Amino acid sequence: MNRPKKNLYIKTYGCQMNVYDSEQIALILGRDYDLTDRPEEADLYLINTCSIRRKSEEKVLSLVGRLKGLKNRRPQMLLGVGGCVAQQEGERLLQRAPHLDLVFGAQGIYRLPHLLHQRLESGKAVVDTSFSADLPYISGQVKPGAPKKLVTIMQGCNNYCTYCVVPYVRGPERSRPAAEVINEVQDFLRQGGQEVTLLGQNVNSYGKGLADGLSFPGLLRRLAKLPGLVRLRFTTSHPRDLSDDLICCFAELPPLCDHIHLPVQAGSNHILARMHRGYTREEYLHKVNRLRQICPGISLTTDLIVGFPGETEADFADTLALMREVAFDAAFYFKYSPRPQTAAAALVDQIPEPVKAERLARLRILQEELSLASNQRLVGQFKEVLVEGLSKQQNQQLCGRLRSNQVVNFDGPQDLIGRMVWVRIEKANLHSLGGHRCQP
Ligand code: SF4
Strands 102-104 and 382-390, how do they pair? unpaired
152 C-alpha to ligand 1 centroid (Å): 16
Mean per-residue pLDDT of the chain: 93
Print burial letters for 266-305: b (CB count within 10 Å at least 16), e (below 16).
bbbbbbbebbebebebebbbebbeebeeebeebbbbbebb
Which of 161, 162, 304, 339, when mutated, tests ligand 1's pocket best, judged by the most ligand atoms within 8 Å of its CB?
161
Atom of ligand 1 nearest to the CA of 276: 2
Is the beta carbon of 160 within 6 A of some atom in ligand 1?
Answer: yes
277 C-alpha to ligand 1 centroid (Å): 8
Query: Which of residues 88 and 142 earns the better pLDDT score?
Result: 88
Query: Which of residues 249 and 392 earns the better pLDDT score?
Result: 249
Ordered structural domains, the chain, with CATH: 6-128 (3.40.50.12160), 133-257 (3.30.750.210), 267-275+286-377 (3.30.750.200), 382-437 (2.40.50.140)
d(CA 315, CA 88): 31
Q: How confident is the model at residue 395 (pLDDT cuts 50, 70, 90)?
A: low
Nearest to 200 by CA among 146, 241, 256, 162: 241
Is the beta carbon of 166 within 6 A of some atom in ligand 1?
Answer: yes
Is the beta carbon of 201 within 6 A of some atom in ligand 1?
Answer: yes
Give the residue-averaged pLDDT of 331-347.
Answer: 95
Q: Whose alpha carbon is nearest atom 2 of ligand 1?
A: 161
Query: Which of residues 366 and 17 earns the better pLDDT score?
Result: 366
Which of 51, 199, 238, when mutated, tests ligand 1's pocket best, judged by the most ligand atoms within 8 Å of its CB?
238
268 C-alpha to ligand 1 centroid (Å): 18
Q: How confident is the model at residue 178 (pLDDT cuts 50, 70, 90)?
A: very high
Q: What is the DSSP string of 279-320?
A: --HHHHHHHHHHHHHHSTT-EEEEEEEES-TT--HHHHHHHH
Is the beta carbon of 268 within 6 A of some atom in ligand 1?
Answer: no
Is the beta carbon of 164 within 6 A of some atom in ligand 1?
Answer: yes
Strand partners, 6: 33
Strands 44-49 and 6-12, how do they pair? parallel
* Residue 383, phi then psi, degrees to nearest 5: -135, 145
Query: Which of residues 47 and 438 earns the better pLDDT score?
Result: 47
pLDDT at 15: 84
Is 249 annotated among the ligand-binding residues?
no
336 C-alpha to ligand 1 centroid (Å): 14
Per-residue model confidence as pLDDT tens digits over 185-218:
999 999 999 999 999 999 999 998 888 889 999 9
Residue 159 has pLDDT above 80, yes or no: yes
What share of the chain in percent tops pLDDT 70? 99
Give the residue-averaged pLDDT of 243-251.
Answer: 97
299-306 sheet: strands from edge to edge? 259-261, 299-306, 330-335
Per-residue model confidence as pLDDT tens digits over 102-127:
999 888 888 999 999 999 999 999 99
102-104 sheet: strands from edge to edge? 33-35, 6-12, 44-49, 78-83, 102-104, 126-128
Strand partners, 126: 102
Atom of ligand 1 nearest to the CA of 202: 1
Is the beta carbon of 158 within 6 A of some atom in ligand 1?
Answer: no
Atom of ligand 1 nearest to the CA of 167: 7
Biggest CA–CA distance in the chain, Å, is 71
Is the beta carbon of 161 within 6 A of some atom in ligand 1?
Answer: yes
Is the beta carbon of 17 within 6 A of some atom in ligand 1?
Answer: no
Residue 48 has pLDDT above 80, yes or no: yes
Residues in the chain: 440
Going through 131-194 in order, the beta strands assigned E by DSSP cover 148-152, 154-155, 174-175
160 C-alpha to ligand 1 centroid (Å): 6
Counts for the chain of helices (H) and strands (E), in that order: 13, 19
